[in-house]
Amino acid sequence: MLNSVTDAFRADLKARLPAAAFRDLTPNYLEEPRGRYAGGDGFLIAPGSTQEVAAVVSACASAGVGIIPYGGGTGLVGGQIAEDGPVPVILSLERMTAIREVWPDENVMVAEAGAILSSVQDAADAVNRLFPLSLASEGSARIGGNLATNAGGVNVLRYGNARDLCLGVEAVLPDGSILRGLSRLKKNNTGYDMRHLLVGAEGSLGIITAASLRLFPKPQAEGAALMVVRDPEAALSLLALAGDLLGSQVSAFELMHRQGLDFLAEVGPEVRAPFEAPPEWMVLVDLGCFAGVDPAEALEQLFAEAAERDLVSDGVIAQSEQQRRDFWVIRESIPEANRRIGSVSSHDISVPVGRIPDFIARGGQALAQVGDFRINCFGHVGDGNLHYNVFPQPGKTRADHEHQRGAVKRVVHDLVAEMDGSISAEHGIGRLKVYDLNRYGDPAKLAAMRAIKAALDPKGIMNPGAVVG
């Protein structure tokens, strides 16, 4: 069992760390970002250096005090929210925001864990490079949290998840030792890959304090098209065709159902309708091209070949960067329309790409057994990652379906599991999905996770209650 922070513990750390490391515990450190629930209490410390993080962790290890690592606070599964119970240290990385160094010719940058994601993007941009991780909360999420949760986003299709953008990490391990792994190397086969163990561990095995990040050349020309597809299966064939023709120049491939457009018409935000009648299914194809390729021409060729195969029936190719942005505004307004409608239940799931059509068909059928819902299904279809959100019919509210929420989740997750999918594609396990992980996870994997957790964190001080429960 862990111990609560005591007055003596506070005094001891205050004597050892600069005053700047201590700040008042305002409610935002304890609240889930959508305001759904809040944690108990905590002793907030914001160290200014890796050495100071190590000093805090060592003190907690000695005293048996739990630590909640805290990045931008944008996580959606409660990984950063202290539960009731022994009062922990809330260790915020907010003062470690430096971009330590950038090597543009090497396509590498070293950033501290507290750097805001958008500032990491900006630092890359300043040397004519791209850091491609991009997601809705990039203005407040911190790169350490993005890595700890292996964040995804819209560019995974082309550039991979957060872990794929990380060459190495510096981290403080549960015994207070500092792992010095800020490798800039593309090839390094010297023992177990601690980077990939810490990335995605959600702070339960150590605290990432800095990371070396991969940068990329910026595409020289970008373009986008909206294409009306026959059905989700045609969308997948179109995606494969786009890969055959254009390879990795396909930056994003987003599927949208008419339900999302209907929500936009119903509650806003107002967007420019690209087609006269809202299509049942459409995709947004985004390209980033290099020397010699004109994106609009490439998209025209793609559309022509897709039309020949009867995959698409209508399409608009952006004729300007403004029009390309307008297309993205539609895609990015759908979550806001969803919020205004108010979902009964939302799911961050993935299935093997080829099973998406079957999942959509069977999901609708199974949910009809539970109740009368509207389903808005959209997302990063190239990654097999769907935002599969269930809504009340017009005139009903989220509250009317309160009693069905558990059943809805269960139906969706059971189907995902049956199709070898994931119950958490992007957001992680945190504290909200520990039960689900235990229910759906592979038993050998769960046993290995527990053994690794016990080996590296024998007192269980690192983000107690998260991931491994």
Smallest distance from the beta carbon of 381 to a second copy, in angstroms? 10
Q: Name which of 325 and 445 has its Cβ closer to a second copy.
A: 445
Smallest distance from the beta carbon of 237 to a second copy, in angstroms? 7
- Contact letters (x/-) for a second copy, 225-264, by CB under 8 A? -----------xx-xx--xxxxxxx---------------
Distance CA 145, CA 49 (A): 17
| Cβ neighbours for 136, distance < 8 A, ≥ 6 positions apart | 332, 335
| Cβ neighbours for 320, distance < 8 A, ≥ 6 positions apart | none
Q: Of 20-28, 65-73, 117-125, 213-221, which segment contacts a second copy by CB under 8 A?
A: 213-221
168 burial via Cβ count (<10 Å: 0-12, 13-18, 19+): buried
78, 428, 464, 465: which one binds a second copy (CB under 8 A): 428
Max distance between CA atoms of the chain, in angstroms, equals 75
Distance CA 46, CA 52 (A): 9
308 binds a second copy (CB under 8 A): no
431 binds a second copy (CB under 8 A): no
454 binds a second copy (CB under 8 A): yes
- Contact letters (x/-) for a second copy, 272-301, by CB under 8 A? ----------------x-xxxxx--xx--x
58 burial via Cβ count (<10 Å: 0-12, 13-18, 19+): middle
Cβ neighbour number for residue 375 with a 10 Å cutoff: 18
Distance CA 144, CA 207 (A): 8
74, 228, 383, 392: which one binds a second copy (CB under 8 A): 383
Smallest distance from the beta carbon of 202 to a second copy, in angstroms? 9
126 binds a second copy (CB under 8 A): no
Q: Looking only at residues 63 through 102 of this chain, which bind a second copy when binding is defined by CB under 8 A?
A: none
Contact 32, 81 (CB under 8 A): yes
Q: Name which of 274 and 384 has its Cβ closer to a second copy.
A: 384
Smallest distance from the beta carbon of 103 to a second copy, in angstroms? 5
* Per-residue 3-state assignment (H helix, E strand, C coil) for 136-182: CCCCCCEHHHHHHCCCCCCCHHHHCCHHHHEEEEEEECCCCCEEEEC
49, 177, 313, 323: which one binds a second copy (CB under 8 A): 177
407 binds a second copy (CB under 8 A): no
Distance CA 327, CA 259 (A): 17
341 binds a second copy (CB under 8 A): no
Q: Is 222 helix (H, G, I), strand (E, B) or coil?
A: strand
Smallest distance from the beta carbon of 267 to a second copy, in angstroms? 29
Q: Of 65-73, 254-262, 321-329, 352-360, which segment contacts a second copy by CB under 8 A?
A: 352-360
